[in-house]
Amino acid sequence: MIQKKICILGAAGVGKTSLTAQFVYSKFSEKYLSSMGVKIDRKVVHVDETDVNLMIWDVHGEEKYKKIPTSYLRGASGILMVIDGTRIDTVAVAEEVRQRVLDKLGDVPFVYLLNKSDLQDAWSINENIMQQLQVTGSPILLTSAKTGDNVETAFSTIAKAMLPT
Amino acid sequence: MSANSNQNNEAAMQELRKLLFEKESVRLDELELLLRDQKLHAQEVAKVLAEAVKIRNQKDDELGKSLAPTIEKSIKESIAKDPKSLSDALFPVMGPAIRKSINNSIAEMLQSLNQTLENSFSVQGMKWRFEAMRTSKSFAEVVMLNTLVYRVEQVFLIHKETGLLLHHLSFDPALNEDADVVSSMLTAVQDFIQDSFAGSTDQGIENLRMGDLEVIIETGPDVVLAVVCRGTTPRSFNEKIQETVENIQQLYTVEFKEFEGETEPFQSMNEHLQPLLVSDFKGNAESDKKGSPIKAIIAVVLLVFIIIGWWAFGEIEDNQKQDQWHNYLQKIHNEPGIIITNIQQLDGKSIISGLRDPLSTDPYTLLSGFGLDGSNVIFHMQPYHALQEPLVLKRVAQLILPPKSIQITMNNGTLTISGVASEIWLSQAEQAALYIAGVDNIDSSQVSILTSVFKDFPHDRPIKLDALPSKPKKAIIRNKKPQKHVVTDEAILKRIIALLKPPATVQLVYSKGTLYVSGKASESWIEFAKNNFSRVEEVDSFHTSNLSSKGMQ
Ligand SMILES: Nc1nc2c(ncn2[C@@H]2O[C@H](COP(=O)(O)OP(=O)(O)OP(=O)(O)O)[C@@H](O)[C@H]2O)c(=O)[nH]1
Ligand SMILES: [Mg+2]
């Protein structure tokens, strides 16, 4: 079986831990427990006839005085970049982190997750932002850790992107 | 890693900033440094410098702002030139903070590691050990745990770059489950610590300890080898680990560099890592023996037999004594519930160590039977619960107190209860017997449930369940359908006696549905008996040809 390390990154509170928990344990909690350091989980995904053992590094959110330590990025084969669809400021954070990842790791596959898609009323991602994200060429998915919408797809998309074609 | 450590880092940084940017003395030093070039003005400036800085600082913080880039630059240069001198200088401030952050990260790692290990060690491991107490493994296992000096429980070979697990070995397959997560977590901690010591490249952790477990970590350029041990390993073992890493690093450099997550090429690691899976027991002469735990187990078991057989090869000085001693050892070896692990001769005395079930025969009492002098033999016996079925059966009997109408037998872990009993007694007995180690299932399908109303049926001594631990999960095979009452003649007779209350001059015999009454009795009793015998369900006929009422009132 192939093993791959992925990192799930983004601003604080965008739902990184929730997405991982939904994916690995099929669980969701409304309670917000800000992550500290890194927590590693594992799940096997089946893509293109291959089993991939994903080692998911759920790193704490990027904050002004609590940057993501680059050491956690080492050896990652793919990045899930999470944006909170209800908080437009999390887009800029994602961009900043993306730059840092590219500096550290070079060209690794990214998948953008616009999370909390269940909160339609508070949705604040507009056309402009979508275009801005599309320029990167990375897949963009609307996800909800709450309903589980697109969560499996998110992880299998990154898994697929990491496998040699 | 944890909030604490991050916060501590933050705090440390703030403290550092304070130290660097706010403390006047630092600024003055820097200023003086900058001004030193201007030799002409230096002395004059020096006179007013302190005052000037003070005044300007009271007015605004421009001075600080304009100095900051220079200070930053000079720090950077200083680091580039000689990181060590700076870190030395900073250490008094940073040291405690860093140490704290390491401890926190280790604590955090221990937490994760602990959780993972705990799942596999404490819960499963304990279960497994508990299980071992009840299975045939227990013999070796019990002996082993009592004599364990150290045992390597797991070996993780980790790809340094990715933290991915390349190969894992463990003495217990139950531990394989979370090995990949542990491996990543270890790497995360290593990375974090390395980052925290800016400048130094290989200041990873080398050793972690939690309770009885020790994790020895050896890092090569591309791999990290983490070895989890129970107990205390000898120093030479660390060297062995080091050699293994060097060896592996050399042999697999290409594979490590090309590693893309496929662990298949590392299956052959076994031959390099297997030798690390060692253990040592008190019985062993050297403290750094090679071999797998299985070998060690066998070694201990063998030890027992060798000890028992030593007489055969020893010099025979006193044939008769030797024979007696041998026969005695043979006897206690065959005795259920006694395990001999060691026999020593000291000052003309024999010291026998081992394990003994409290229900087994006291080996001391057997000495005289072999003509041996008890004062020359000292026993060091640790209590344990033997799983030989005779002893299990004894223990069961002690607890459930079977009435005479009940037979209990043990076979392959199944306790079979047969005979006649009341519902209450049976269900109590079943519940209680489940707590006995060695009883895996209970088969009580052969028990006839007696619903008799007669109080004198041998029965119902209450079994105390309160003192027992929580209920274990074992199977009870029990006939769901109520059984036909197969009752002994003796029991029927008792009921008849209870019902008819015969006078002492009457003899009753019950056989195959017929009640034979003989002797002498009053008319009225005979009348009563005739009318009532059929109330005992099993009695069909009443035979009175040997009964007379002559001379009775
Ligand atoms: N409605 C809704 N709430 C969500 C969703 N995902 C996460 N949340 C909530 O958002 C909050 C933050 O979620 P987390 O998963 O802890 O966020 P995080 O990115 O891990 O946060 P940090 O670890 O602090 O960086 C929690 O209260 C979650 O319940 C979602 O898809 N829908
Ligand atoms: Mg989180």
Mind telling me how many Å the CA of B198 is from chain A's nearest CA? 12
pLDDT band at B406; cut points 50, 70, 90: confident
Q: Looking at residues A49-54, what average pLDDT do you find?
A: 92
pLDDT higher than threshold 50 for residue B33: yes
Cross-chain Cβ contact B162/A5 below 8 Å: yes
Q: Lowest mean pLDDT: which of B100-109, B145-154, B347-356?
A: B100-109
pLDDT higher than threshold 70 for residue A46: yes
Q: Which numbered ligand comes closest to the C-alpha of A93?
A: 1
Q: Looking at residues B8-12, what average pLDDT do you find?
A: 74
- Check if A144 has its Cβ closer than 6 Å to any atom of ligand 1: yes
Q: Lowest mean pLDDT: which of B193-207, B280-294, B322-336, B526-540?
A: B280-294
Q: Whose CA is nearest to atom 32 of ligand 1?
A: A116
pLDDT higher than threshold 80 for residue A54: yes
Q: Lowest mean pLDDT: which of B5-14, B86-95, B112-121, B136-145?
A: B112-121
Ligand 2 centroid distance, CA of A39 (Å)? 9
| Confidence (pLDDT) at B98 | 39
Question: Which residue of A lies nearest to B6 if distances are taken between CA atoms?
Answer: A66
pLDDT higher than threshold 70 for residue B159: yes
Burial group, residue A36, by CB count within 10 angstroms (0-12, 13-18, 19+) = middle
Q: Whose CA is nearest to atom 28 of ligand 1?
A: A30
| Confidence (pLDDT) at A58 | 92
CA distances from B58 to B44, B51, B61, B434 (A): 22, 11, 8, 83
- For B206-223, the pLDDT digits (tens) are 676 655 667 888 888 889
Q: Looking at residues A14-24, what average pLDDT do you find?
A: 97
B202 or B310: which leads in pLDDT: B202
Q: Looking at residues A86-111, what average pLDDT do you find?
A: 95
Question: Which residue of B lies nearest to A61 if distances are taken between CA atoms?
Answer: B3
Residues in A touching B2 (Cβ below 8 Å): 36-37
Cross-chain Cβ contact A66/B181 below 8 Å: no
Ligand 2 centroid distance, CA of A23 (Å)? 14
Question: Which residue of B lies nearest to A164 if distances are taken between CA atoms?
Answer: B260
| Confidence (pLDDT) at B86 | 53
Residues in B touching A78 (Cβ below 8 Å): none
Q: Looking at residues B28-48, what average pLDDT do you find?
A: 66
| Confidence (pLDDT) at B446 | 80
- For B267-303, the pLDDT digits (tens) are 888 889 988 888 765 544 333 333 334 444 444 444 4
CB B435 within 8 A of CB B399: yes
Rounded to whole angstroms, the Cα distance separating B541 from B517 reads 11
B525 or B106: which leads in pLDDT: B525
Whether domain A2-162 has CATH 3.40.50.2000: the reply is: no
- Check if A32 has its Cβ closer than 6 Å to any atom of ligand 1: yes
- Check if A115 has its Cβ closer than 6 Å to any atom of ligand 1: yes
Chain A residues 53-82 within an 8 A CB cutoff of chain B: 53, 55, 57, 60, 65-66, 69-72, 74-77
Q: Which of A26-40, A50-64, B350-364, B506-520 has the highest mean pLDDT?
A: A50-64
Cross-chain Cβ contact A71/B5 below 8 Å: no
Other C-beta atoms closer than 10 Å to the C-beta of B518 total 16
- Check if A81 has its Cβ closer than 6 Å to any atom of ligand 1: no
Mind telling me how many Å the CA of A118 is from chain B's nearest CA? 30
Residues in B touching A74 (Cβ below 8 Å): 161-163, 191
B225 beta partners: B157, B218
A138 or B529: which leads in pLDDT: A138
Q: What percent of chain B has pLDDT over 90?
A: 4
| Confidence (pLDDT) at B176 | 67
| Confidence (pLDDT) at A129 | 93
Q: Whose CA is nearest to atom 1 of ligand 1?
A: A116
pLDDT higher than threshold 70 for residue B134: no
Candidates A159, A123, A128; CA nearest to A142 is A123
Q: Lowest mean pLDDT: which of A124-133, A138-147, B170-179, B387-396?
A: B170-179
Buried/exposed B97-127: b ≥16 CB within 10 Å, e otherwise: bbebbbebbbebbbbbbbebbeebbeebbee
pLDDT band at B498; cut points 50, 70, 90: confident
- Check if A118 has its Cβ closer than 6 Å to any atom of ligand 1: yes
Buried/exposed B22-38: b ≥16 CB within 10 Å, e otherwise: eeeeebeebbeeeeeee
Candidates A29, A36, A21; CA nearest to B7 is A36
- Check if A24 has its Cβ closer than 6 Å to any atom of ligand 1: no
ipTM: 0.86
**Any B CB within 8 A of A17 CB:** no
- For A69-80, the pLDDT digits (tens) are 888 899 999 999
Q: Looking at residues B495-514, what average pLDDT do you find?
A: 84
Ligand 1 centroid distance, CA of A66 (Å)? 18
DSSP state of B276: G
| Confidence (pLDDT) at B199 | 44
Cross-chain Cβ contact A77/B261 below 8 Å: yes
Cross-chain Cβ contact A37/B1 below 8 Å: yes
DSSP state of B233: -
Domain ranges (residues) in chain A: 2-162
| Confidence (pLDDT) at B283 | 43
- For B431-463, the pLDDT digits (tens) are 777 777 778 888 888 887 765 443 334 444 444
Q: What percent of chain B has pLDDT over 70?
A: 59
B290 or B62: which leads in pLDDT: B62
| One-letter amino acid of B33 | L
Residues in A touching B194 (Cβ below 8 Å): 71
Rounded to whole angstroms, the Cα distance separating A133 from A142 reads 13
pLDDT band at B531; cut points 50, 70, 90: confident
DSSP state of B462: P
Interhelix angle for A89-105 vs A127-134, to 10°?
A: 0
pLDDT band at B66; cut points 50, 70, 90: confident
Q: SS3 sequence, chain A?
A: CEEEEEEEEEECCCCHHHHHHHHHHCCCCCCCCCCCCEEEEEEEEEECCEEEEEEEEEECCEECCECCCHHHHCCCCEEEEEEECCCCHHHHHHHHHHHHHHHHHCCCCEEEEEECCCCHHHCCCCHHHHHHHHCCCCCEEECCCCCCCCHHHHHHHHHHHHCCC
Q: Which of A5, A38, A39 sits opposite B164 (nearest CB)?
A: A5
Residues in CB range of B118: below 8 A, 6 or more apart: none
Q: Any long-range contacts for B403-406 (C-beta under 8 Å, 24+ apart)?
A: B403/B458, B403/B459, B403/B461, B404/B458, B405/B457, B405/B458, B405/B488, B405/B491, B406/B447
| Confidence (pLDDT) at B285 | 36
pLDDT higher than threshold 70 for residue B118: no
Residues in A touching B185 (Cβ below 8 Å): 40
- For B295-325, the pLDDT digits (tens) are 444 444 444 444 443 433 343 345 677 778 8
